[in-house]
Amino acid sequence: MKKANYKKYLTVTNLLLLILTVFYLLDHYLPFPKNYSGFYWANDDKGAIGYIFGYCGGLLTNFLGTGKVLDPNGTEIYRYATHMLLHRHLLALITNLVGLYFIGNYAEKRFGRWLTYIIFIVVGVAEVFITDPLYIAMAPSKAEEVATTVAVGASGGIFGLIGASLAALFFDVKSFKKIGKPTIIISAIYGVLTTYVTSFGWTTVCHNVSLILGLILGVLIILPFFLLKKGKFARAENTEIQADADKNTF
């Protein structure tokens, strides 16, 4: 009887999935301190259903989210990274957990665990500085809306990983055959659904900016190794993605 390989589940991606879930629960269900007057997620009369789906709480968002409402002067720099740990409601969390599980684990195989999450953090932070000005330039009438919006979510970093993974495929097209079908299908659905279906506007700009940033970072990382024919990103004829992991698990 073949033993189950549990080690393949010990990844930074899977640890991050747990962290995102814990932060979500704390943000939405921690009670507010006495006389609290900070940010909160409005229930809008959704009642118990709204409570179950996370239209409540907001204590961590008040201290870790981004937006002029929370940080008018933009001086609390840490928020540009910490906002990725939080999610607006349950459906946003579930969508990003599913997308990150497949995309993040695949990226770890291509770039290694630490490089993968350097890309995740760098892109997630950088897009904050680009998305708002770009969106306002494209839709000036939305300037007031942007000024009052609180931004949270890991999708910027996830789209950065999609971009970096596309860069890796560009340098090694044959490796596409080694990607599991679930990863291809989920990545495609996640990309289209979260960018053009459930959200259209600011989120569309955010995801496209993140995708392009990830693509650029991926090329900058891979190109030197590809040209020098050394390391894991050497030309395809000189190297291959590791075998059995990549047995289309992710």
Residue 182 domain-assigned (yes or no)? yes
pLDDT band at 93 (very low <50, low <70, confident <90, very high): very high
DSSP states of 40-102: ----TT-HHHHHHTT-S--HHHHHH-BSTTT-TT---TTHHHHGGG--SSHHHHHHHHHHHHH
Residue 169 domain-assigned (yes or no)? yes
Residue 1 domain-assigned (yes or no)? no
How many folded domains does the chain comprise? 1
Residue 241 domain-assigned (yes or no)? yes
Please give the pLDDT value at position 6: 67
Tell me the pLDDT tens digit for each residue of 22-45.
999 999 999 999 999 999 998 776
Residue 128 domain-assigned (yes or no)? yes
Please give the pLDDT value at position 2: 60
Bridge partners of residue 66, in order along the sequence: 151
pLDDT band at 1 (very low <50, low <70, confident <90, very high): low
Cβ(151)–Cβ(81) below 8 Å? no
Residue 165 domain-assigned (yes or no)? yes
Tell me the pLDDT tens digit for each residue of 154-199.
999 999 999 999 999 999 988 898 899 999 999 999 999 999 988 7
DSSP states of the chain: -PPP-GGGG--HHHHHHHHHHHHHHHHHHSPPPTT--S-----TT-HHHHHHTT-S--HHHHHH-BSTTT-TT---TTHHHHGGG--SSHHHHHHHHHHHHHHHHHHHHHH-HHHHHHHHHHHHHHHHHHHHHHHHHH-GGGHHHHHT--B--SHHHHHHHHHHHHHHHHH-GGGGGGS-HHHHHHHHHHHHIIIIIS--SHHHHHHHHHHHHHHHHHHHHHHHHHHHT-STTS-TTT----TGGGTT--
Residue 244 confidence (pLDDT) above 60? no
pTM of this prediction?
0.89
Domain that holds residue 23: 6-246
Please give the pLDDT value at position 71: 93
Locate tokens 């931004």: which residue?
151
Tell me the pLDDT tens digit for each residue of 65-92.
999 999 998 899 999 999 999 999 999 9
CATH code at position 103:
1.20.1540.10
